[in-house]
């Protein structure tokens, strides 16, 4: 079949999950064609290889009898993880996405089905940044599940026991990282969809001594800050004038808050305490404030001396935020009353409902647009359709921006791989956010496009990978390549990117 035949066949399939399965089968049957389609039709196919469709795939991973192409590590592999790495693939792995399946998107603990997340994310390194498929490895840590539905399901393929915790869990992770260092000394590891109990701790433990990052914490922060900075171009304002209210105070929310604070410190000269005072958080108990006791460690820096508010609408009335960010997985939490208050307090209110998948979003684009009279600056975690409205006397199409981490993490990981980066600091994510915020043209911003189109994503990634690599080397985090590099990053990045195969060419994509 030709490229066009596959696209026509895919478009004729009605259910998104069946499109996902069609593409997975194509990867097994004709990996050459599979990667061609993803590279040629990135914008159209992204939702079917990753979010939002991948959420359903993870929930039904066993039921759908999906043939795994990643590597499972279980607690039974303790003492022999390095041997398992050696036996699984002979490839020179440069980038790894690892999950333990505990907090998949916004849908919870799906255990061994979390492999779908690692497989989906690792694809984006190739499609977006051009990392060769043979250098990419998805890993799922099967350490049990606390999901009773899975434990009682006849189709579940993971360990049928409660999640491993405590020292045994930490020892398994420690052995994995030691084995990775021994097997591939310069591999970049991306943590994905770990629960709050482990996410911050694992990041703090391993990033000083291994090239790793947590996409839910740092990648989400990067693309959100990029969206805010792009929105501020429309407002003709700056970060120092913003008050940001978050619904949700988990790893994604506080990660965004910390990167926003870092930007205020590094670019505007505020102290860290002053910077954090621009960010406020609502959790399940209400507004995070200094009067609250027994706050989790990651919330404490944002517990300001303000009156407690029990509900979001109370907090909006009290704080009058300029930016409202949802990371709560509470559908429709941004009610008409709340959105209209945001429009009352701000000429151009920024409203970012970031929760995934789509049915968990805090509000839709259509509602945010209409409830603000078209003045909203909007970005969501999952895609929404564009809409048409009158603007300056003519009908104009307005587009909801999708704050997709895929703009950021593949290029950052590729830059880390090319420079053999030793540690990916938060400054790297700040530099990446600033670069992404400048990619959209002014006329595109006016139509809601805070981020560039994915149809040109590899060109964007060349620029972003080059900027990150340059920063890493200039700041002692990595080193320029010893061969083939002549002092200019963009030509070198292009030379290292995976080239789209012709239909008759074989490719070596299997691990």
Average pLDDT value for residue range 115-143: 96
Question: Is-contact 330 355, C-beta < 8 A?
Answer: yes
Q: What is the pLDDT of residue 509?
A: 44
At residue 181, does pLDDT exceed 70?
A: yes
Q: What's the structural domain count of the chain?
A: 3
**Residue that finishes a domain, picked among 210, 241, 258:** 210
- pLDDT level of residue 106 (50, 70, 90 thresholds): confident
Task: Specify whether the backbone of 484 is left (phi greater than 0), alpha (psi in -120 to 50) or beta.
Answer: left
At residue 504, does pLDDT exceed 50?
A: no
At residue 507, does pLDDT exceed 50?
A: no
- pLDDT level of residue 1 (50, 70, 90 thresholds): low
In a shared domain, residues 414 and 378: no
- pLDDT level of residue 164 (50, 70, 90 thresholds): very high
Is 346 annotated to bind ligand? Answer: no
In a shared domain, residues 426 and 287: no
In a shared domain, residues 349 and 438: no
Question: Is-contact 379 400, C-beta < 8 A?
Answer: yes
Is 29 annotated to bind ligand? Answer: no
Ramachandran angles phi, psi of 136, nearest 5°: -115, 135
pTM higher than 0.85, yes or no?
yes
Q: What is the pLDDT of residue 462?
A: 97
In a shared domain, residues 102 and 198: yes
Count CB-CB contacts under 10 A for residue 81. Answer: 20
Position 449 in a domain: yes
Q: What is the pLDDT of residue 490?
A: 97
Q: What is the pLDDT of residue 344?
A: 98
User: Structural domain of residue 311, as residue ranges?
Assistant: 218-404
Report which secondary-structure segment, H or E, holds 313: helix 312-319
Average pLDDT value for residue range 195-207: 93
Give the Cα-Cα-Cα angle 340, 394, 447 (nearest 5 degrees): 55
Read off the tokens for 80: 């022999």
pLDDT tens track for 342-395: 999 999 999 999 998 788 999 999 999 999 999 999 999 988 999 999 887 789
Position 268 in a domain: yes
In a shared domain, residues 248 and 382: yes
In a shared domain, residues 305 and 335: yes
- pLDDT level of residue 261 (50, 70, 90 thresholds): very high
Question: Is-contact 53 119, C-beta < 8 A?
Answer: no
At residue 505, does pLDDT exceed 50?
A: no
How far is it, in rounded angstroms, from Cα 350 to Cα 264? 18
**Residue that finishes a domain, picked among 346, 381, 404:** 404
Position 379 in a domain: yes
pLDDT tens track for 317-354: 999 999 999 999 999 999 999 999 999 999 999 999 99
How far is it, in rounded angstroms, from Cα 161 to Cα 143? 8
How far is it, in rounded angstroms, from Cα 75 to Cα 163? 10
CATH number, residue 248: 3.40.50.720
**Residue that finishes a domain, picked among 184, 210, 236:** 210
Q: What is the pLDDT of residue 370?
A: 97
In a shared domain, residues 90 and 58: yes
In a shared domain, residues 328 and 419: no
Is 193 annotated to bind ligand? Answer: yes
How far is it, in rounded angstroms, from Cα 66 to Cα 92? 26
Read off the tokens for 268: 């505007």
In a shared domain, residues 351 and 460: no
Position 485 in a domain: no
CATH number, residue 120: 3.40.50.10380
Is 356 annotated to bind ligand? Answer: yes
pLDDT tens track for 26-61: 999 999 899 999 988 888 898 899 888 999 999 999
pLDDT > 90: what percent of the chain? 86
At residue 71, does pLDDT exceed 90?
A: yes
Is 310 annotated to bind ligand? Answer: no
At residue 267, does pLDDT exceed 60?
A: yes
The DSSP secondary structure of 120-155, one letter per residue, reads HHHHHIIIII---GGGEEEEEEE-----HHHHT-TT
How far is it, in rounded angstroms, from Cα 3 to Cα 193? 33
At residue 508, does pLDDT exceed 80?
A: no
Query: Where in 354-461 does DSSP place strands (E)?
Result: 377-380, 387-391, 394-398, 401-402
In a shared domain, residues 237 and 302: yes
> Which are the contacts of 482, defined by CB distance < 8 A and separation ≥ 6?
none
In a shared domain, residues 466 and 376: no
Is 170 annotated to bind ligand? Answer: no
Residues labelled as active-site residues: 50, 121
CA-atom Rg of the chain in angstroms: 22
Q: What is the pLDDT of residue 502?
A: 65
- pLDDT level of residue 503 (50, 70, 90 thresholds): low
SS3 33: helix
């Amino acid at each position: 079949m030709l490229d066009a035949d596959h696209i026509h066949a895919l478009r004729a399939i009605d259910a998104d999950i069946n499109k996902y399965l069609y593409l997975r089968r194509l990867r097994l049957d004709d990996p050459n064609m599979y990667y061609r389609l993803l590279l040629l039709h990135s914008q159209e196919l992204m939702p079917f290889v990753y979010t939002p469709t991948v959420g359903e795939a993870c929930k039904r991973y066993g039921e759908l009898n999906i043939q795994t192409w990643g590597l499972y590590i279980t607690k039974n592999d303790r003492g022999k993880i390095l041997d398992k790495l050696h036996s699984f693939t002979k490839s020179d792995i440069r980038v790894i996405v690892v999950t333990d399946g505990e907090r998949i998107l916004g849908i919870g603990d799906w255990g061994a089905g979390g492999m779908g997340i690692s497989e989906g994310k690792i694809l984006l390194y190739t499609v977006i940044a051009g990392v060769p498929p043979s250098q990419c490895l998805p890993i799922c840590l099967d350490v049990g599940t606390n999901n009773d539905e899975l434990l009682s399901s006849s189709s579940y393929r993971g360990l049928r026991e409660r999640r491993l915790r405590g020292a045994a869990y930490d020892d398994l992770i420690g052995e994995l990282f030691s084995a990775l260092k021994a097997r591939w000394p310069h591999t970049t590891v991306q943590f994905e969809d770990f629960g709050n109990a482990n996410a911050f701790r694992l990041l703090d433990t391993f990033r000083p001594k291994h090239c790793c990052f947590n996409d839910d914490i740092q990648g989400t922060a990067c693309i959100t800050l990029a969206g805010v900075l792009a929105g501020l171009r429309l407002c003709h304002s700056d970060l120092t004038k913003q008050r940001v209210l978050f619904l949700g105070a988990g790893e994604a929310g506080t990660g965004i808050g910390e990167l926003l604070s870092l930007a205020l410190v590094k670019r505007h000269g505020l102290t860290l305490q002053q910077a954090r005072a621009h960010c406020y958080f609502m959790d399940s108990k209400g507004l995070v404030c200094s009067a609250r006791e027994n706050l989790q460690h990651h919330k404490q820096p944002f517990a300001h001396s303000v009156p407690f508010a029990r509900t979001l609408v109370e907090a909006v009335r009290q704080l009058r935020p300029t930016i409202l960010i949802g990371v709560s997985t509470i559908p429709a939490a941004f009610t008409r009353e709340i959105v209209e208050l945001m429009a009352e307090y701000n000429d151009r209110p920024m409203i970012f409902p970031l929760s995934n998948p789509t049915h968990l979003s805090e509000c839709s684009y259509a509602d945010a647009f209409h409830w603000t009279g078209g003045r909203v600056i909007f970005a969501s975690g999952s895609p929404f359709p564009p809409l048409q409205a009158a603007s300056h006397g003519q009908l104009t199409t307005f587009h909801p921006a999708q704050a997709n981490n895929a703009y950021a993490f593949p290029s950052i990981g590729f830059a880390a791989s090319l420079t053999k980066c030793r540690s990916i600091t938060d400054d790297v994510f700040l530099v990446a956010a600033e670069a992404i915020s400048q990619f959209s043209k002014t006329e595109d911003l006016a139509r809601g496009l805070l981020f560039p189109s994915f149809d040109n994503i590899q060109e964007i990634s060349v620029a972003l990978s080059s900027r990150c690599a340059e920063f890493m080397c200039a700041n002692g985090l990595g080193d320029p390549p010893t061969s083939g590099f002549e002092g200019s990053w963009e030509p070198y990045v292009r030379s290292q990117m995976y080239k789209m195969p012709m239909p008759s060419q074989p490719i070596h994509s299997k691990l």
